[in-house]
Structure 1
Amino acid sequence: MNSGLTGILRRAAPQPLLAVVVLASLLAIWTTAHDSRPPAAPAVLSANAPRVSEERCAECHSDITDTFPETPHARTLHHVSEAGIAERFAGRSFTHPQTGARFDYTLEDDRLTVSTPAYARELAIEWIFGSGTHAQTPLITWTDEEGRTQSIEHCVSWYPTGELAATLGTEALPDATGVQALGHHRGPAQTMNCFGCHSRYVPNTDGRILFDHLQAGIGCARCHWDVEQHVAEMDAGEEASIERFAALAPREAVDRCGECHRRAQDMGGPIEPDDESIARFAPVGLVQSPCFQQQDEVRLPSGEPVRLDCTTCHDPHRPSSNDWQTYVRSCLQCHGAGHDNTSVCSSPRTEQNCLPCHMPKVPANEHLEFTDHWIRVRSTAE
């Protein structure tokens, strides 16, 4: 694994220390001038979660652990040594349409590098973020002069069509030269959050990620923060407790998912109904929805209170269903025929499928679309 800038430079500089200082200085200047994105969310609380293996969880919960590896969450971070990962970039070239920078990818001796005429050095790529459901994006890492891990989110991604294209969010990169052409710089805190949201366990010392011990991909301990206590109680023969999202208030449960999928309070500005970029961040849209905001006022025909949060429709332990009826069943709990609060939508365009009108797919770029979770009546659902 790379432990410093020399680990990502294919050709050693005549003066390695000078190269570190120069690159760090360039990034400091560049970040001040160009990184206008909202600040990162608070550090992932489970970044130093105890290392409880899924094998222990499987002793009692094999029905969950057997299917979980198939979920995007479990496959959301890859080392380039994994079979088939580096090959998605190796031997290919891409010219960024906004910056005009050309990138060439080379795989030699299991080592993936990227080079560009805009920068005189080849940089090693070790980590690829994303399950591939939507995209996969390289993150180029190094250790700065203070011993902290920093990174560049590469401006080129692989998409499920097999194409390389601009990374979502890098369309506004300036026409830059040098290392700036590679993508968005992420400082130590942001880099820690990146790995914290894509990993089971991110061991670190004073801001330096210890990659040799990193556990890539989301696992049980990432969401169940008290799993170590749970296992200890089991081993002691005690009644074991564990935190469940269903026991949290709906807003708290959504915000727990939003820690990685974005929370409304992280948007850094007003949330406007016509902002199509919000569709990328499901928790942000969901909490704006009348269905979510008014759930305390509604009772099911059985008299039970309504609950709407992310897990109402999505089982995080299993791959998402592609059957729209799976999700409409949740809608019909409140909007079904005969309910005291409302009745089923009468639009002839629905064919009983609520989603195209009330939760449509919104294009993010020519390769990506996201389901808008801001559930509402739109002009197309009259």
Structure 2
Amino acid sequence: MKKRVLYIISIVIILIGIISYFTLHRKESSYTNEYIEITPIATHINGMDFIDSATCIECHAQIVKDHYKTAHFNSFQPANKQTIKGSFEKDKNTLNLGDKVTFNFTEKDSGFYQEPIFNNQNTPFYSAKMDIVVGSGTKGQSYLMWNNNNLLQLQASYFTPTNSWINSPGAPDQLAPARPVLERCLECHTTYAQNISGSKNGSKFHKKNLVYGIDCQRCHGPVKKHVVHHKQNPNDKIAKHIIKYSSLSRQQRLDACALCHSGLRTETTERAFSFAIGDTLKKFSSPDYDESSLEDLDVHGNQYGLLKASKCFTNSNSLNCITCHNPHKKERGNISSFNQKCMDCHTTISKPINCSGDKEEIKKTRNNCIQCHMPLVKSKTMKIQIPDGDEVSVDVRTHLIGIYK
């Protein structure tokens, strides 16, 4: 009897051990699979997987939430009621194009539309759906539509300073066909878009293989491997499998921004979206202007060239874009923050800054260093027609740091 009881107890212990082993193994397997199986939202032609930036929230919640508010992240978005800045309300939803055509902006169950109508007719000439918003709305927005896989820019845009619909910059003052969108246009507004035209001058793109806005992976490289590693190794506090800005040289940091902020560029051998953080930009494209002439540098889009020509830059061994800009945060209008960046370099204990400007003007601007030394300048290339028919140049803050009258 005793032997039988011991036998039964032994069997029970063995069964408990087997069940516990498989239970733990299944949990571990489930745990591992959960971390490894991250579904990409797009794939680069070089094989790199893009994942949803929301994946980063678990470990970098505040950084991601702050980045969602930046102009970079909101530079390319699906069109909806929240992302379109122009009004669809009566008396605010029209644009007169000369004296022959009126654009009506309408909201339907299927989306938002631009509908031009000749003034002697009753029905729209066409009804074009606004599928994508280009621009955060800081200065304005343009709108793109899908025609099968062709991506086209619609004629009407939105201009923030006048809070009104306008004729798109560069468009004729008469009804015109939608303009094809090229891959080089998208390179500066979104993290990735796959061109399936077979030519860099084609406007066909893979609808499902694009990443909206400028997200984490545009500046930190592919992060899927990084996420998987730290999910599986939560106690590893040293960032692995990700590009850190602290590891880049000064020129590599500048090149990362110069790709989109150095004016028009001429391609060498590579296609759009080929350049990656850490690459040397001049191997991919060269300036389409004379860098030595300040006259050729426009405030719109060439912040890099103007910064390089500034004494603040030439007299420093380390100054670069992120010295003054935090790419994770929306900083526009934060005067005190930018002033402090200036003071950090220009004030020491032994030599406090002594501004020689007019004391009364300094008071009026609340000691705003940027207002005096990086003023708003009218762009020579970015011009728009406002509703009254006048053409105006858009004001852009210059990055040629200096002493201005």
Common fold by TM > 0.5: yes
d(CA) in 2 for partners of 1:264, 1:311: 22
d(CA) in 1 for partners of 2:298, 2:96: 25
Cα-to-partner distance string for 1:6-60 (whole Å, 9 max, x where unaligned): xxxxxxxxxxxxxxxxxxxxxxxxxxxxxxxxxxxxxxx8997522233432222
Q: Which letter does structure 2 place at the counterpart of 1:292?
A: F
User: How far 1:112 sits from its partner (Å)?
Assistant: 2.5
Q: Which moved more, 1:312-321 or 1:345-354?
A: 345-354
Q: Which letter does structure 2 place at the counterpart of 1:110?
A: S
d(CA) in 2 for partners of 1:276, 1:204: 30
d(CA) in 2 for partners of 1:134, 1:368: 8
User: How far 1:140 sits from its partner (Å)?
Assistant: 3.1
**Which residue is equivalent to 2:223?**
227
Which residue, 101, 124, 128 being the options, matches 2:129? 124
Larger RCO: Structure 1 or Structure 2 (Cα < 8 Å, ≥ 6 residues apart)?
Answer: 1
User: How far 1:225 sits from its partner (Å)?
Assistant: 1.0
d(CA) in 2 for partners of 1:278, 1:187: 23
**Which residue is equivalent to 1:257?**
257
Q: Superposed, which structure 2 residues align to 1:185-196 within 5 Å?
A: 185-190=179-184, 193-194=185-186, 196=187
Q: Which letter does structure 1 place at the counterpart of 2:136?
A: S
Give 3-state SS (helix, strand or coil) of 2:344's partner. helix
Contact 1:50/1:221 (8 A) holds in 2: no
d(CA) in 1 for partners of 2:51, 2:83: 28
**Which residue is equivalent to 2:315?**
294
d(CA) in 2 for partners of 1:242, 1:55: 16
Q: Which letter does structure 2 place at the counterpart of 1:65?
A: V
CA RMSD of aligned residues (A): 3.6
Contact 2:80/2:112 (8 A) holds in 1: no
d(CA) in 2 for partners of 1:269, 1:187: 23
User: How far 1:263 sits from its partner (Å)?
Assistant: 4.6
Q: Which letter does structure 2 place at the counterpart of 1:202?
A: A
Q: Which moved more, 1:325-334 or 1:364-373?
A: 364-373
d(CA) in 2 for partners of 1:263, 1:149: 26
Contact 1:350/1:356 (8 A) holds in 2: no
Q: Structure 1 residues 222 and 107, CA, compared in 2 at 3 Å: closer, same or farther?
A: same
Q: Which letter does structure 2 place at the counterpart of 1:290?
A: K
Contact 1:201/1:215 (8 A) holds in 2: yes
2:145 counterpart of 1:140: yes
d(CA) in 1 for partners of 2:222, 2:397: 32
User: How far 1:178 sits from its partner (Å)?
Assistant: 4.2
**Which residue is equivalent to 2:160?**
159
Unaligned runs of 5+ in 2: 1-43, 119-123, 199-203, 267-286, 384-391
Q: Structure 1 residues 112 and 361, CA, compared in 2 at 3 Å: closer, same or farther?
A: same
- Provide the identity percentage: 22
2:189 counterpart of 1:198: yes
d(CA) in 2 for partners of 1:113, 1:291: 47
d(CA) in 2 for partners of 1:265, 1:294: 26
Q: Structure 1 residues 46 and 82, CA, compared in 2 at 3 Å: closer, same or farther?
A: farther
Q: Report the TM-score, using the length of structure 2 for normalisation.
A: 0.64
**Which residue is equivalent to 2:273?**
none
How many matched pairs? 309
Q: Structure 1 residues 373 and 100, CA, compared in 2 at 3 Å: closer, same or farther?
A: farther
Contact 2:49/2:224 (8 A) holds in 1: yes
Give 3-state SS (helix, strand or coil) of 1:121's partner. coil
**Which residue is equivalent to 1:149?**
150
**Which residue is equivalent to 2:401?**
375
d(CA) in 2 for partners of 1:261, 1:353: 24
d(CA) in 1 for partners of 2:108, 2:334: 42
The structure number with the bigger radius of gyration is: 2
**Which residue is equivalent to 2:371?**
356
**Which residue is equivalent to 1:88?**
87
Give 3-state SS (helix, strand or coil) of 1:355's partner. helix
d(CA) in 1 for partners of 2:249, 2:68: 28
Q: Structure 1 residues 223 and 369, CA, compared in 2 at 3 Å: closer, same or farther?
A: same
User: How far 1:152 sits from its partner (Å)?
Assistant: 2.4
Give 3-state SS (helix, strand or coil) of 2:329's partner. coil
Q: Structure 1 residues 353 and 121, CA, compared in 2 at 3 Å: closer, same or farther?
A: closer
Q: Structure 1 residues 265 and 158, CA, compared in 2 at 3 Å: closer, same or farther?
A: closer
